[in-house]
Amino acid sequence: MKFKLRERPEPQDLLLTPMLDLFIALIPFLLVSAAFVRLGGLKVNVPQAAAAADQKKDEKEKVSLAFEVNSREVLVTAFQESFSKPVKALETKIDVNDLQKLTDYLTSIKTKHTFGGALFHASQDTPYEKVVQVLEVIHSVPEISTETVLAVGMVN
């Protein structure tokens, strides 16, 4: 009996070009259709314009304070919009030995305004004890915390 040797077929190469063409055609379609997929969200009742105006009247104006201390006085300057617009009506000078007046001043500002931040500068001729006392008065106001005072520095 004579056996015939069969020829084995050569393995076919995997053709990647048609698959890449398919992906190139599908990717823009998937990206465009993904933009229209709606994800779950919360339904929010937005206030009307009149209600927003009334709410704005009830809101307190946000001010940032800058404290400059020297050996004689504490200069307090109020600013709106992150220290860009000074509020002249709230600017005051207080004797460094009359810190109760500073406490009263900060308490009066607190009733009409909210505090946005505070800067503190002390001149080099200011005694250290006075600097600490002024900082204690500033921190005694609940809205001005240690995180609110943005910078503490000694200036010439």
Could you say which architecture CATH assigns to the domain 61-155? 2-Layer Sandwich (3.30)
**Each residue of 12-58: pLDDT tens digit?**
778 889 889 999 999 988 888 777 666 566 677 777 776 555 555 55
Q: What's the pLDDT score for residue 145?
A: 53
Q: What's the pLDDT score for residue 41?
A: 61
**Each residue of 104-139: pLDDT tens digit?**
888 888 888 887 778 888 888 888 888 888 888 888
Q: What is the pTM of this model?
A: 0.57
Helix axis angle, 128-140 relative to 99-112, nearest 10°? Answer: 30
**Each residue of 79-104: pLDDT tens digit?**
887 777 888 888 889 998 888 998 88
Distant-in-sequence, close-in-space partners of 58: CB < 8 Å, separation ≥ 6: none
Tokens of 8: 């084995």
DSSP single-letter state for residue 126: S
Q: How far apart are CA 45 and CA 27, in angstroms?
A: 37
Give the ranges where 1-155 is alpha helix by DSSP (H): 17-35, 49-58, 99-112, 128-140
Q: How far apart are CA 100 and CA 111, in angstroms?
A: 17
**Does residue 150 surpass a pLDDT of 70?**
no
